[in-house]
Amino acid sequence: MDALALSRWQFGITTVYHFIFVPLTIGLSPMVAIMQTAWVRTGNERWLRLTKFFGKLLLINFAIGVATGIVQEFQFGMAWSEYSRFVGDVFGAPLAMEALAAFFVESTFLGLWIFGWDKLPKKIHLACIWAVAIATNLSAYFILAANSWMQHPVGAVFNEKTGRAEMNDIGAVLTNPTVLAAFPHTITAAFVTAGTFVAGIGAWWMVKLVRRGDLATAKDVYRPAVVLGMIVMLVGGVGVAISGDAQAKLMFKQQPMKMASAEALCSTTSGADFSILAIGNLSNDCDNVKHLISIPGLTSFLATDDFNATLQGVHDLQAEYEQKYGYTDENGDPISYQPDLTVTYWGFRLMIGFGIGSAALALAALWLTRKGRVTDKKWFGTLGIAAIATPFLASSFGWIFTEMGRQPWVVAPNPDPSGVDGVWLITARGVSVVPGAGGVLTSLIAFTLLYGVLAVVWYRLMHRYTIEGVAPSEKDPSPEARTDDDADRPLSFAY
Amino acid sequence: MELTTVWFILIAVLWTGYLVLEGFDFGVGMLLGLLPHRGPGRERERRVMINTIGPVWDGNEVWLLTAGGATFAAFPEWYATLFSGFYLPLLLILLALIVRVVAFEWRGKIDDDRWRAWADRALIVGSWVPAVLWGVAFANIVRGVELDTDHQYVGGFWALLNPFALLGGATTALLFLTHGAVFLGLKSAGEVRDRAARLGARLAPVTLVVAAAWAIWAQVAYSESGWTWAAVAVAAVALVLLVAATRTRREGLAFVASAVTLVAAVVLIFGSLFPDVMPAFDSANSLTTTNASSTHYTLTVMTWVAVILTPLVLLYQGWTYWVFRKRISADHIPESIGLTFERPTADAGTQER
């Protein structure tokens, strides 16, 4: 493999690793904040026990999220230096803002939250976890603004003298319609992830305790966790669907090739069907694809709210792009402007499919916990644990679809010719010159192995702390803020 | 003042924040293998050390991410050339930082000696590697590197390991070790404090000699300007003060002295570069604050963001240090609340019906 292929694999692997942990942090930090708020407001110990329990899981997850995130800040310069030169004037701004406005807040206030249980007044300590929750979501906004700019550049012009994209409107970059759709979609998906996580673990524990005869803890602690998780999951789920629909409509306008590939839509069609299942060799020859099950007109409807609308197909777009951009490969032939059809087609379907996965848990939970009930049905506990995986998978497939659907571009051209003419770059021109294939192969192997080991350890820790459950209330007495500087009192928490 | 100059200074400020704050974090991590005595008290002493930086190390590390992000935003050519050029050293630094992060957070989660031994290895290696390699990297930047006409680094990996750079690595490692020791003298109590003070007194003279040698070499051979002699002088005075303060166990003064030394080092490094950001052997190919910078518009936007947010960061990070200002001794360390992998605590004795 050459440096380009290796660099793409490296970025893909490290980003997917990072985004296993990110949605849980984004969604779980506000949920822990909600639990702690409930404890501070009601004084009910159940919320304190839940705060501590899910707080531990949050911290185990936060650490690996930070660890896998550090790499991303530098990987642009390391492996994609030519891209960085081209976009730095625009792309660097949201990145630097993210660090200044969000990373500092979350890292500092998380430290205060972890170690401050008995050092800070109750309400200030509560404010710390809220600061973490808000900053985590804010950082998602900035990085998504940066990513959305690569999908749909705005607020910039191409400067022929310097050969780079130059920013002329930060407001446009931060209010890119693409990020205004991508942010709610990502955030609500993160809420579904965390909601499923909390409800799934709560369901498993509730069933276990009912079967063991500990009805009190099942009813008093885990049932509220299931209910809270379920509410977050349902609200998030509705948000994912609405924002996903809005995002698809934008994508038909902004990146028609991506959506045409996702639907394996070969030729320009009026009233395009939505394909549910297809067979055949999808690898970049869409005429080979046989659509087995399709819903008539649905794709056109999703794109435009009109069942009969005309959508451009892959072939016509290819011809149009060849004319417009004129990139050639080493033999002088026009390059293919199609993303990998297999990945985009299945990435899209798996995202939606797995996204629906947690709904089964939500519906079952809604029924089985109605009116203060608890349940001893073993399948419900199993469903709870199994459902936890589905939003993680949906998020990964969604990002793989978004990112690989952008190929061969690293900065996709804005089809609207006003303002951002010339701001586009193909991935092959963005890769670094210096490290070479050997250098990138070294780092690819190193990151993959290290992340692999850490992911296994992460899983074992999460599993171990999950099956430990909430501590009995006598082990988690209400922490009291004490400022008496009692010299010999042990720390409330120490590493 | 030109905005490019403002951003050159701002990035120097961000690196100052990183090296002064993370400097003692690295020092504490490096000392984890050197300071605690062997025997039954070892684990408790290690936890005292780790917990002196427990609430703050993560916030300290963000100074690096911000310096990286700010370089990308303000000097994209510098960011691209530097990080693709110094690919392998940066890879090693990143791997070290990764294992260090998870070791902090996961170390106490499992109550098992082998588990903790692995976490300690990660903390120690994760502190030594960046402590040495940041010095190597900065020394190479000061010295100048081989850039071609496209500003690509073409010197290769081994050229980075020249004597001046290696001495730079030794300098940062020693500075951080001493900085960590005097920080422990300030933040811990009991046995750890005494041992840190003794070690700091022994380290300080060595640091003085090595750091002074590197600083004078840098100034004489590579500085673009004469005024940076002032930074060398400040560093020298601070180092002498550091030696004196560690001998007489004036802990506050010792910490101020080692912090001032690090500030002076950043001033020397950036001062000797200016107006270059990455000098090339053939000076026609050098990256400067002008040819590496973003547009005026981007710099203006980022200046507003930095001017509003940086003071706030200093304010709440300062407050964190105030909240956790108390010294930590072995008596403050609670029993390990970690679990074991064997079996759930609650299940001990009860059977599922």
- What tens digit of pLDDT does each residue of B151-185 get? 899 888 888 999 999 999 999 999 999 999 999 99
To the nearest whole Å, the CA of B129 is away from the closest chain A CA by: 16
**pLDDT of the residue at A287:** 72
Q: What is the pLDDT of residues B276-297, one digit of tens each?
A: 999 989 888 899 998 999 999 9
| Confidence category of residue B349, pLDDT binned at 50, 70, 90 | very low
Between A436 and A277, the higher pLDDT residue:
A436
Residues 192-211 of A with CB under 8 A from B: 208, 211
Q: Does B102 touch chain A (CB under 8 A)?
A: yes
Residues in chain A closer than 8 A to B105 (CB atoms)? 59-60, 62-63, 495
pLDDT in tens, A239-275: 999 999 899 888 888 888 888 888 878 888 777 778 7
Share of chain B above pLDDT 90, in %: 78
What is the structure's pLDDT at B353? 37
What confidence category does residue B351 fall into, taking pLDDT thresholds of 50, 70 and 90?
Answer: very low
A494–B305 CB contact, under 8 Å: no
Interface probe, candidates B4, B21, B50, B58, chain A, greatest A C-beta count within 10 A: B58
What pLDDT is attached to residue A282?
A: 61
Which of A66, A82, A495 lies nearest to residue B54, judging by beta carbons? A495
pLDDT of residue A310: 81
**Chain A residues whose beta carbon lies within 8 Å of the beta carbon of residue B81:** 81
pLDDT reported for residue A418: 66
Contact (CB<8Å) A112/B101: no
Which chain B residues have a beta carbon less than 8 Å from that of A495? 47, 50-51, 54, 104-105, 107-108
Closest Cα of chain A to B171: distance in Å? 25
Q: Does B317 touch chain A (CB under 8 A)?
A: yes
Omega cis (within 30) before B275 = yes
Distance from CA of B239 to the nearest CA of A (A): 30
Residue B305 confidence (pLDDT) above 80: yes
CB pair distance less than 8 Å for B297 and A92: no
- What is the interface size between A and B, counted as CB pairs within 8 Å? 259
Chain B partners of A442 at a C-beta cutoff of 8 Å?
88, 91
| Average confidence (pLDDT) over A338-343 | 86
In the prediction, which pLDDT does A419 show? 63
CA distances from A166 to A86, A122, B302 (A): 9, 48, 14
The pLDDT, as a whole number, for residue A445 is 96
Averaged pLDDT for residues B99-126:
94
Q: What is the mean pLDDT of residues A116-122?
A: 91
Predicted local distance difference test score (pLDDT) of residue A305: 79
Give A99→chain B minimum CA distance, Å. Answer: 5
Rounded mean pLDDT of chain A?
Answer: 89
User: Which residues in chain B have Cβ-Cβ distances shorter than 8 Å to A82?
Assistant: 80
Please state the rounded mean pLDDT for residues A149-154: 93
Nearest CA in chain B to A431: B84
Interface contact A78, partner B, CB < 8 A:
yes
Interface membership of A89 toward B (CB under 8 Å): yes
What value does the mean pLDDT of chain B take?
A: 92
Query: Which residue in chain B is spatially nearest to A438 when comparing CA positions?
Result: B88
Which chain A residues touch B112 with a CB distance below 8 Å? none
Q: What HEC string does chain A produce? A: CCHHHHHHHHHHHHHHHHHHHHHHHHHHHHHHHHHHHHHHHHCCHHHHHHHHHHHHHHHHHHHHHHHHHHHHHHHHHHHCHHHHHHHHHHHHHHHHHHHHHHHHHHHHHHHHHHHCCCCCCHHHHHHHHHHHHHHHHHHHHHHHHHHHHHHCCCCEEEECCCCEEEECCHHHHHCCHHHHHHHHHHHHHHHHHHHHHHHHHHHHHHHHHHHHCCHHHHHHHHHHHHHHHHHHHHHHHHHHHHHHHHHHHHHHHHCHHHHHHHCCCCCCEECCCEEEEEECCCCCCHHHCEEEEEECCHHHHHHHCCCCCEECCHHHHHHHHHHHHCCECCCCCECCCCCCHHHHHHHHHHHHHHHHHHHHHHHHHHHHCHHHCCCCCHHHHHHHHHHHHHHHHHHHHHHHHHHHCCCCEEECCCCCCCCCCCCCEEHHHCCCCCCHHHHHHHHHHHHHHHHHHHHHHHHHHHHHHHHHCCCCCCCCCCCCCCCCCCCCCCCCCCC
**8 Å CB contact of A488 and B332:** yes
Q: How confident is the model at residue A487 (pLDDT cuts 50, 70, 90)?
A: low
Distances (CA, A) of A455 to A125, B110, B114, B124: 30, 16, 19, 21
A434 inside 8 A of chain B by CB: yes
In Å, how far is B186's CA from the nearest CA of chain A? Answer: 16
Q: Is B58 within 8 Å of A109 when comparing Cβ atoms?
A: no
Which pLDDT belongs to residue A30? 97
Would you state the structure tokens that stand for residue B183, as one six-digit string? 């920080």
Q: Give the pLDDT band of residue A372 (cuts 50, 70, 90).
A: confident
- pLDDT reading at B146 higher than 70: yes
Q: Which residues of A touch B150 (CB under 8 A)?
A: 433
Residue A97, both tokens: 């803002």
B338 touching A (Cβ < 8 Å): no
Looking at chain B, which residue has its C-alpha nearest residue A106? B59
> Which 108-137 residues of chain A touch chain B by CB within 8 A?
108-112, 114-116, 119-120
Across A87-98, average pLDDT = 94
Q: Is the CB of B72 less than 8 angstroms away from the CB of A76? A: yes
State how far residue B204 is from chain A, nearest Cα, in angstroms.
29
- Residue A253: the pLDDT is 84
Chosen for mutation from B28, B101, B114, B150 (greatest number of chain A CBs closer than 10 Å) is: B101
Max mean pLDDT among A256-260, A268-272, A330-334, A438-442 falls in A438-442
Query: Quick one: pLDDT at residue A189?
Result: 95
Report yes or no: A31 at the B interface, CB cutoff 8 Å. Answer: no
B104 CB within 8 Å of a chain A CB = yes
pLDDT for res B347: 54
The answer, for B310 touching chain A at a CB cutoff of 8 Å, is yes
Query: HEC states along chain B?
Result: CCHHHHHHHHHHHHHHHHHHHHHHHHHHHHHCCCCCCCCCCHHHHHHHHHHHCCCCHHHHHHHHHHHHHHHHHHCHHHHHHHHHHCHHHHHHHHHHHHHHHHHHHHHHHECCHHHHHHHHHHHHHHHHHHHHHHHHHHHHHHHCECECCCCCECCCCHHHCCHHHHHHHHHHHHHHHHHHHHHHHHHECCHHHHHHHHHHHHHHHHHHHHHHHHHHHHHHHHCCCCCCHHHHHHHHHHHHHHHHHHHHCCHHHHHHHHHHHHHHHHHHHHHHHCCEEECECCHHHCEECCCCCCCHHHHHHHHHHHHHHHHHHHHHHHHHHHHCCCCECHHHCCCCCCECCCCCCCCCCCCCC
Q: Does residue A493 belong to the interface with chain B, where contact is any CB pair within 8 Å?
A: yes
Q: Which of residues 441-470 of A touch B (CB under 8 A)?
A: 442-443, 446-447, 450, 454, 457, 460-461, 464-465, 467-469
- Residues in chain B closer than 8 A to A208 (CB atoms): 352
B193 CB near a chain A CB, below 8 Å? no
Least trusted range by pLDDT, from A282-286, A290-294, B52-56, B127-131: A282-286
